[in-house]
Structure 1
Amino acid sequence: MTLNNLKSPKGAHKNIKRIGRGQGSGQGTQAGKGHKGQKARAGGGVRTGFEGGNMPLYMRLPKKGFSNAPFKTEYAEVSLAQLEAKFDGGEVTREALIEKGLLSGINKRRPIKVLANGELKTALTFVNIDKFSKAAAEAVEKAGGKISND
């Protein structure tokens, strides 16, 4: 097989319907557009949602409510179980969490929240961690750790 004898497989290429090319083609005269009217004209037709002069549905329906979704604060979540596995004492800071692989990607920039999944037996000092769940804060205090926001 060479470039000069390449062929498409049978049925791979179908001729396009050439409309408006005379009566003999079977698609002459109105070329599939019917008789006159807005949709038969060049560039004719109505815009999306147009209802022939009626008030369109999208304008009849009430516009209500407010969504705070674009403005909500997304937190990078770290559980007590993860901290217990990676830290054996010392300070827990953003840099330490990144270094231990608990924060990656966009979470490196997000505010951090500590959640109470798992148990904490190690006394850890948390520095500049944004939020703690109630149970997580209690678990840190119970393990002899401290939460400081300097």
Structure 2
Amino acid sequence: SSSSSSSSSASRSLSTWTLSTLRATQRRGGSSSPSLLPWGCVSSGYSRGYRGNGKRKDGGYGTLVPRESPIPPQGVISLSNLKDNPGSKTWRLRVGRGRGGGMGKTARRGYNGQKSRSGGAPRIGFEGGQTPLRLTLPKRGFVNPKRMVFTPLNLWKLQKWIDDGRLDVSKTLTMKDFVDARLIDPRVKNGLKLLAKEMDGHAFTAKINVEVSRVSAAAKEAIEKNGGSVVTVHYNRLGLRALFYPQKFKYGLPKPARAPPWLVGKVDRVGTLPAPAPREAASAEAS
């Protein structure tokens, strides 16, 4: 009993001495005499006498810190604190390893069949061999890649804005004037088209000069009947954005795009973009 008590006290004193020595060494930032450290003290640097299996050539375990090593010990290594770097190992679901994990034997896939095999899922749209729905229904129509969507604007609404004083008819009206007056939504895709629909109390009687993307024959006749004129102009998507929001182009406005060959006969000319405003005026207006 006396021998066991003496050995336990010696081990306690050794462990206490080891921890105190390690803490003092780490506080100093170095090791004054690393060779005096007990067996089992390790360093993050290369150490002599280590064979790779945890056992030294002299029969002991652990890593011996060499005398000339400038790296201080980092702690005592044991099987309880051995682990890889955080994030180097990813969790993987292991199936077929017993009932304890909930994924044993058949791993919730049942017995034989296509769904129990790896990679046994059929392709999307496969209906077991019968004619799929995409082949049962007939094809209708086609997708026109040159289709253009125009925002409609009726003459009665244009006349109402003129009667309320929201539009200045003394100058040529453009689509930007309509956007600024909140007559149309600025989210125009391909342009604006004037239509000749009228309502009671809002008969079109104004004399205007207007530039739009498209105009119906009846609307053009109604405008020219009052002594006005309509010019159809072409803007691409970038041109419309530059027309509505010229202040958003920091390095200058883009060049107006020419109409493609299939639109040459449908427009009178290419739309013009306003001159870029000075930076001082644009910044003052934005603020």
Identify whether the pair has TM-score above 0.5, normalized to the shorter chain.
yes
Which letter maps to 1:130? R
**Matching of residue 49 in structure 1 with residue 129 in structure 2:** no
Partner residue, 1:111: 191
Distance 1:119 1:26 in 2: 77
Q: Select the residue among 204, 207, 215 that pairs with 1:120.
A: 204
Partner residue, 2:223: 140
Q: 1:59 Cα shift?
A: 6.3
Distance 1:26 1:83 in 2: 71
CA pair 63-88 structure 1, distance change in 2 beyond 3 A = same
RMSD value, Cα: 3.4
Distance 2:120 2:110 in 1: 13
Q: Say how many residue pairs are matched.
A: 129
CA pair 37-26 structure 1, distance change in 2 beyond 3 A = same
Which letter maps to 2:123? R
Partner residue, 2:214: 130
Which letter maps to 1:92? L
Q: Is the Cα–Cα contact under 8 Å of residues 193 and 212 in structure 2 kept in the other structure?
A: no
The runs of 5 or more residues in structure 1 that have no matched partner are: 1-17
Q: Select the residue among 127, 147, 153 that pairs with 1:78.
A: 153
Partner residue, 1:92: 173
Distance 1:50 1:129 in 2: 47
Q: TM-score, normalised by structure 2?
A: 0.36
Q: Which has the higher contact order (CA 8 A, sep 6+)?
A: 1
CA pair 35-145 structure 1, distance change in 2 beyond 3 A = same
The runs of 5 or more residues in structure 2 that have no matched partner are: 1-93, 232-267, 269-287
SS at structure 1 position matched to 2:169:
coil
CA pair 145-113 structure 1, distance change in 2 beyond 3 A = farther
**Matching of residue 29 in structure 1 with residue 105 in structure 2:** yes
Q: Map Cα deviations across residues 58-89 of structure 1 (whole Å, 9 max, x no partner).
A: 46436523234654321122222332223353
Partner residue, 2:15: none
Q: TM-score, normalised by structure 1?
A: 0.59
CA pair 93-145 structure 1, distance change in 2 beyond 3 A = farther
Q: Map Cα deviations across residues 85-125 of structure 1 (whole Å, 9 max, x no partner).
A: 23353322234334433344332x63321122442232112
Distance 1:128 1:45 in 2: 55
CA pair 42-92 structure 1, distance change in 2 beyond 3 A = same
CA pair 30-93 structure 1, distance change in 2 beyond 3 A = closer
Which letter maps to 2:173? V
